[in-house]
Amino acid sequence: MRTAMRITCHRRSLAAALATARGVIPARTPKTILKNVKLRLTEDRATLLATNSEVGIRSEVSGVESDSVGEVLLPAKQVTEILREVQDDVIVLEVDEGGLRIRTADNEFKLAVDDPAEFPDVAMFDDDAYWTVPGRQLKQAIQRTIFAIDTKNARYALGGVLVEVSPATITLAATDCHRLAVAQTPCSQCGEPSAGQRPVVPAKAMRLIEQSVGKGEQEVHLAVHDDSVLVRSGTSTIYARLVAGRFPKYRDVIPRNPPICIELVAGPLLSAVQQSAMVASDKRCGVDFAFADGNLILASVGADAGCSRVELPVSYQGEPITITFDPKFVADFLKVLKPSASLSLGLTAPNDPVVFRVGSDYTYVLMPMARWGR
């Protein structure tokens, strides 16, 4: 039997929480109940829960008032559309045996809803031993690595982000075998969590964690279990089942002490890469990076769009060397940096992997492309 409830909500708060929860909802699933989110009311809080069985999130919702306790499933797509279209600051949800009514000052919507008892639960963060990470730095580390995952193999290790935990540092790593992104952030511990853990967290969960971190100096708590992780960030708890498979020994592919090191600035280099790539309509068309006499010349020849030549002054005075990159892979890396950020490019030979470094806590390794006889 469905519990009768009358709930008053601030529309924007509910809409924001629902937008985050919808990031978990599967686009296609035989379990149609997962197309919902659960609104749970207790005596002291309102919580929104969503899951796709692999990743789940529970978020506290502000601006919710009710004299009742209980649960209701909200059809996520329909409720989102209603909240987007109505203009009232306050809405009322009424739940009874007939279903769900959403009322505003001038509108009323009636929706059929499923039984909340059939909706799978999302784990709570009740660990006593966990890692504490500065939220802003973790957010940056996720942004600096997640773009390098292998999106075609989401169910295997390359489809997630490796999280290496040590007593003072958390290292994130992602690769699709053509590139590798590694970022570090400091951490501390509460209790005695196990060090040396190497879970691979699915991309969807990492995006939720990144989105959950606000603009302040909040801390994020990370608990690693044998087959899952739990992350507490602000008013949200994110659960994720770990990705199957073993992540490669990524440190073995990072070039050590390359003989050529060139200092660059992110903003001007990104602009030059984007300009030179305008004619590279064919995915096989890379951009040549030619270093010589204090200049970097970026050149590309498109299959049907012509050619480009962009010149950029750089601090290089050695023997001429030309190496070809996929411009998207270079741009992905530069876009997560501030335009004023300084970086170094380590080169060995035209066909060897190169290493970009930003300070001591961010490394990006990129394989060059074949030059196709050019």
List of domains in the chain:
5-118 (3.10.150.10), 130-250 (3.10.150.10), 255-366 (3.10.150.10)
pTM: 0.90
The DSSP letter of residue 193 is: P
pLDDT in tens, 166-223: 889 999 999 999 999 999 999 999 999 988 889 999 999 999 999 988 776 789 999 9
C-alpha to C-alpha distance for 345 and 357, rounded to whole angstroms: 7
Residues 243-260, mean pLDDT to the nearest whole number:
92
Taking all residues of the chain, what is their mean pLDDT, rounded to a whole number? 91
137: which 2 tokens?
């730095």
**pLDDT value at position 234?**
86
Confidence of residue 50 (pLDDT cuts 50, 70, 90): very high
With a pLDDT cut of 90, the percent of the chain lying above it is 72
**pLDDT value at position 97?**
84
pLDDT in tens, 289-309: 999 989 999 998 776 667 889
Residues 260-287, mean pLDDT to the nearest whole number:
87
How buried is 225 (Cβ within 10 angstroms: 0-12 exposed, 13-18 middle, 19+ buried)? Answer: middle
The CA–CA distances, whole Å, from 77 to 18, 74, 133 equal 10, 9, 34
Q: Where are the alpha helices (DSSP H) in the chain?
A: 11-21, 76-85, 135-143, 203-212, 266-276, 327-335
pLDDT at 343 over 60: yes
